[in-house]
A and B are shown apart, each in its own frame.
Chain A
Amino acid sequence: MRRLLAFALLIGLLSPAPSLAVQPDEMLLNPVQEARARALSRELRCMVCQNESIDDSEAPLAHDLRVLVRERIKAGDSDAQIVDFLVARYGEFVLLKPRLSWRTAVLWGLPPVLLLVGGALVLVGLTRRNRALSGEDAKLSPVEEKRVANILSEGSGS
């Protein structure tokens, strides 16, 4: 069964029994608050699932968290307060987008650093190589000049 599950994952299927995650009775009546809850839910991980947000998961834990998020919203908490509350309770693991810190510096820093270093390398390499190659091309050795002269004179002779 675990192997099958792994294969289901290979093909991009996340949960073996997909269904409705957000239940109609969970939803808030105020559409603005409900939209906030949905947006927040997409950033929060269902900790017992594989890489699923609580918005997508139908696990009981995800249901509890969805209800919790909506309760905090109704109580008047801001989004940041709710996230802080959940991190304090469940740890950084609950965030699908990890916060920038020393532990995640490599994760967040790699793309821009790679782009800058790669771009710089390309530019430097390109100019250096072009200079070197064009310098070589421009100057012919005495032997080569003689050959050119020979070829040219042959060409005009025939």
Chain B
Amino acid sequence: MIPELGHYALMLALGLALIQGTMPIVGTRTNDPVLMSMAAPTALAQFFFVAIAFASLAICYITSDFSVLNVFENSNSHMPFIYRLTSMWGNHEGSMLLWVSILAFFGALVAAFGTNLPVVLKANALAVQAWIAAAFHLFILTTSNPFVRIAQAPFEGQDLNPILQDPGLAFHPPMLYLGYVGFSIAFSFAIAALLEGRIDAAWARWVRPWVLGAWMCLTLGIAGGSYWAYYELGWGGFWFWDPVENASLMPWLAGTALLHSAVVMEKRGALKVWTILLAILTFSLSLIGTFLVRSGLLTSVHAFATDPTRGIFILAILVVFIGGALALFGWRAPLLKQGGLFAPISREGALVFNNLFLTTACATVFVGTLYPLALEALSGEKISVGPPFFNSTFGPLFVPLLVVMPFGPLMGWKRGDLLGAAQRLMAAALLGALATAAAFAIEQGGPALAPFGAGIAVFVMAGAVTDIAERTLFTRVPFRASLQRAIGLPRSAWGTAFAHFGIGATLLGIVAVTAWGSERIAEVKIGDSLDIAHYRLTLDGLFNREGPNYRDMVGRFTVRRMNGEYIGVMEPSRRSFPDRNMTTTEAALMTRGVSQLYLSLGDPGPNDQVAVRLYFKPHVLLIWLGAAIMFAGGALSLSDRRLRVGAPRPAKARAVLQAAE
């Protein structure tokens, strides 16, 4: 009964999406306020029915209803509650339902809270949102229905892939999808603006909170996935340049560019056409990202062909939405009026520089990910494009971006003072140089360029601090006055500083762990010791331990300092799942400050020997801490009154701001 209810609700949602996608548009063409006002209630109703469908599937999973094929294939009644629920989106059908639920949720948010939007813009944007929803509803209903029943319900379900039985699954895909789908709002508003042929700075103000929110979720989603891979894979890699990771990195890069160009548009009315194009591209990349993963195209060109209905449908959605949007852009964009003069050396100029490098980096990832597929499809030749390619192309693109980054916020609008900004960044540059020198002195080995990487990271972080210090006139006015200025600063200024600081922290972590991490691979017997960095690990014993649906073979290691001081115990294990006949490596991690010791077990050999891999990962936690700081920066910006309300700021705040400029 419940699966049928969900199935039926999804069909109703499709019907509502079709109404929501047509009537308001007709209304804006015929200038009929009644038709236009249909957009909001249909969006809310559509979300209501999608939510019912989502809840139905969730109930099937929680109650382990194995008469539903999707539940039978991906769940098992022995699993703990949390994994019974999260395995719902650990498969194609369920994850598509999650995707479309988030889409409908965002549409409903615009409908409910976009009360200050112009009527025509709101009607058009919600209609475009409904087109996307309708395409996805249709895709799910025709090719990926999660509610299909089995005639004779099995007694027990198959298992969920053990790798996915992890809190990471509860967190990572929903965050990623919140990011991907969040960009659909920017897309819908861009298409709506093109349909109307009118756009102004206020457009950027309405769209920016959505872009910011999506960017925050995507940042956290990518970082969460990276940390998950780090502790789960058993050898402590944090980024693999895997096509699937690239699929999520591309919308992030384009979204970051969009975030910055929207600022220029909001404050100065310039870069309108470019911002519209970026909004279209960012969501297009989100769609491509979703589908590259879902279609199996990445595994190989042949995997795509094994399930043609799904693949063709996906291709059709991509062609219609991306091609259609770009065609509309080519046709209507010349109608949009450009505005806002600025000199090359200015805040705008710095943001254009940012956009140029971010989009080039994004294009590099794009071509690197898809080139092997294209080449194979066209000529049949197979080449590999892997991490070494991306490291040697992506790195050089990011260095100038990072070096210029601290200058941006110190530059004035319209015409900036490069020399003045450079003078104010002297202290930050000095710190960066000191860090480089210190890295040369302390760290032996590692690539010769690594200390400079550390220097740039410190420069970026110090630059973000300089920005705040300059705005609060720190050291130039009494401390109390500075503090008051700091409180009076617009939250978005704090947001910028936090986000930029976070980038620096992430970079520092990446440089430190790739250049100066150390590794030991060895066979050990009970009583043997391994030395790494300033730690000595001794294997005390090997034993078995039973879990709810697995068995662990645990190695117990005591960690001591070189002088014998006891620090703690690490217990890595080999975890075998009898239901699946699979074994995973559960690494043990010990955090020391922001560095980590990382220990994983291999197969036990003869004579009670066991192979181990031991790593020292210096400053590795900074990678994800940096992402968390970026997220906090986004949240600060989002809480800025000007963005949230879209209302003029109170006179008092304005006085403070002017004084600070």
Binding site for B on A (CB under 8 A): 2-25, 27, 42-43, 45, 50-51, 53, 56, 91-98, 103-104, 106-108, 110-111, 114-115, 118-119, 122-123, 126, 129-130, 133-134, 137
Tell me which of A22, A108, A111 contacts B397 (CB under 8 A): A111
Taken together as a complex, chains A and B put the C-alpha atoms of A17 and B234 apart, in Å, by: 10
Taken together as a complex, chains A and B put the C-alpha atoms of A130 and B345 apart, in Å, by: 13
Q: Which residue of A lies closest to B387 (CB)?
A: A96
Taken together as a complex, chains A and B put the C-alpha atoms of A14 and B338 apart, in Å, by: 46
How far, in Å, is B602 (CB) from chain A's closest CB? 4
List of B residues within 8 angstroms of A8 by Cβ: 161, 163-164
How far, in Å, is A102 (CB) from chain B's closest CB? 11
Q: A7-B91, A18-B584 are in contact. Are A123 and B344 (CB under 8 A)?
A: yes
Contact A13 B367 (CB under 8 A): no
Q: Which residue of A lies closest to B162 (CB)?
A: A16
Contact A98 B237 (CB under 8 A): no
Contact A115 B389 (CB under 8 A): no
B476 contacts the other chain (Cβ, under 8 Å)? Answer: no
Contact B91 A11 (CB under 8 A): no
A6-B92, A7-B92, A96-B386 given; 11 more Cβ-contact pairs under 8 Å: A7-B90, A13-B163, A13-B228, A20-B611, A24-B611, A51-B240, A56-B237, A96-B385, A107-B367, A111-B361, A122-B352
Contact A103 B163 (CB under 8 A): no
* Chain A to chain B contacts (Cβ below 8 Å), 23 pairs: A4-B160, A4-B164, A8-B163, A9-B242, A10-B293, A13-B228, A14-B242, A17-B582, A19-B234, A23-B521, A23-B602, A45-B386, A92-B383, A93-B384, A94-B384, A97-B385, A97-B389, A98-B383, A107-B367, A110-B364, A111-B367, A122-B356, A126-B349
Tell me which of A43, A108, A134 contacts B341 (CB under 8 A): A134
Contact B363 A114 (CB under 8 A): yes
Tell me the chain B residues, 230-251 only, with Cβ under 8 Å from chain A: 232-235, 237, 240-245, 247
The count of A-to-B residue pairs whose CB atoms sit within 8 angstroms is 193
Q: Which residue of A lies closest to B245 (CB)?
A: A12
Binding site for A on B (CB under 8 A): 74, 90-92, 95, 160-161, 163-164, 168-169, 172-173, 225-226, 228-229, 232-235, 237, 240-245, 247, 293-294, 296, 298-299, 303, 338, 341-344, 349, 352, 356-357, 359-361, 363-364, 367-368, 371, 375, 379, 381-389, 392-393, 397, 521-523, 582-585, 600, 602-603, 611, 613
Contact B92 A3 (CB under 8 A): yes
Contact A20 B356 (CB under 8 A): no
Contact A7 B225 (CB under 8 A): no
Tell me which of B243, B341, B349, B367 contacts A110 (CB under 8 A): B367
List of A residues within 8 angstroms of B244 by Cβ: 9-12
Q: Which residue of B lies closest to A111 (CB)?
A: B364
- Tell me which of A6, A12, A106, A107 has the highest count of chain B C-beta atoms within 10 A of its own C-beta: A12
Contact A51 B173 (CB under 8 A): no
List of A residues within 8 angstroms of B603 by Cβ: 19-20
Q: Which residue of B lies closest to A7 (CB)?
A: B90
Contact A91 B163 (CB under 8 A): no
Taken together as a complex, chains A and B put the C-alpha atoms of A107 and B393 apart, in Å, by: 10
Contact A18 B384 (CB under 8 A): no
List of A residues within 8 angstroms of B368 by Cβ: 107
Tell me which of B229, B338, B584 contacts A129 (CB under 8 A): B338
- Tell me which of B168, B344, B363, B383 has the highest count of chain A C-beta atoms within 10 A of its own C-beta: B383
Contact B383 A51 (CB under 8 A): no
Q: Which residue of A lies closest to B392 (CB)?
A: A97
List of B residues within 8 angstroms of A19 by Cβ: 234, 583, 585, 602-603
Tell me which of A4, A91, A94, A111 contacts B161 (CB under 8 A): A4
Contact A93 B611 (CB under 8 A): no
Contact B344 A97 (CB under 8 A): no
List of A residues within 8 angstroms of B95 by Cβ: 7
Contact B232 A18 (CB under 8 A): yes
Contact B613 A20 (CB under 8 A): yes
Taken together as a complex, chains A and B put the C-alpha atoms of A10 and B296 apart, in Å, by: 11
How far, in Å, is B414 (CB) from chain A's closest CB? 11
Taken together as a complex, chains A and B put the C-alpha atoms of A114 and B369 apart, in Å, by: 17
Taken together as a complex, chains A and B put the C-alpha atoms of A111 and B399 apart, in Å, by: 14
List of A residues within 8 angstroms of B352 by Cβ: 122, 126
Taken together as a complex, chains A and B put the C-alpha atoms of A125 and B368 apart, in Å, by: 29
Taken together as a complex, chains A and B put the C-alpha atoms of A27 and B521 apart, in Å, by: 9
List of B residues within 8 angstroms of A3 by Cβ: 91-92
Contact B242 A12 (CB under 8 A): yes
Taken together as a complex, chains A and B put the C-alpha atoms of A42 and B343 apart, in Å, by: 46
How far, in Å, is B69 (CB) from chain A's closest CB? 12
Contact B299 A6 (CB under 8 A): yes
Taken together as a complex, chains A and B put the C-alpha atoms of A63 and B298 apart, in Å, by: 25
How far, in Å, is A117 (CB) from chain B's closest CB? 10
What are the 4 closest A-B residue pairs judged by CB atoms, nearest first? A96-B386, A97-B388, A20-B602, A18-B234
List of A residues within 8 angstroms of B299 by Cβ: 2, 6, 9, 50
Contact A130 B384 (CB under 8 A): no
- Tell me which of A9, A56, A108, A130 has the highest count of chain B C-beta atoms within 10 A of its own C-beta: A9
Contact A114 B341 (CB under 8 A): no
Tell me which of B172, B173, B356 contacts A118 (CB under 8 A): B356
Tell me which of A13, A23, A110, A129 contacts B233 (CB under 8 A): A13
Taken together as a complex, chains A and B put the C-alpha atoms of A97 and B351 apart, in Å, by: 32
Contact B229 A11 (CB under 8 A): yes
How far, in Å, is A6 (CB) from chain B's closest CB? 6
Q: A8-B164, A50-B299 are in contact. Are A16 and B582 (CB under 8 A)?
A: yes
Taken together as a complex, chains A and B put the C-alpha atoms of A93 and B376 apart, in Å, by: 11
Contact A24 B523 (CB under 8 A): yes
- Tell me which of B359, B364, B384 has the highest count of chain A C-beta atoms within 10 A of its own C-beta: B384
Q: Which residue of B lies closest to A98 (CB)?
A: B383
Q: A10-B244, A16-B161, A96-B389 are in contact. Are A24 and B384 (CB under 8 A)?
A: no
List of B residues within 8 angstroms of A126 by Cβ: 342, 344, 349, 352
Taken together as a complex, chains A and B put the C-alpha atoms of A11 and B389 apart, in Å, by: 21
Taken together as a complex, chains A and B put the C-alpha atoms of A3 and B295 apart, in Å, by: 10
List of A residues within 8 angstroms of B233 by Cβ: 13-15, 18
Q: Which residue of A lies closest to B168 (CB)?
A: A11
Tell me which of B356, B371, B392 contacts A115 (CB under 8 A): B356
Contact B360 A13 (CB under 8 A): no
Contact B367 A106 (CB under 8 A): yes
- Tell me which of A2, A15, A16, A56 has the highest count of chain B C-beta atoms within 10 A of its own C-beta: A16
- Tell me which of B161, B173, B349, B600 has the highest count of chain A C-beta atoms within 10 A of its own C-beta: B161
List of A residues within 8 angstroms of B583 by Cβ: 17, 19
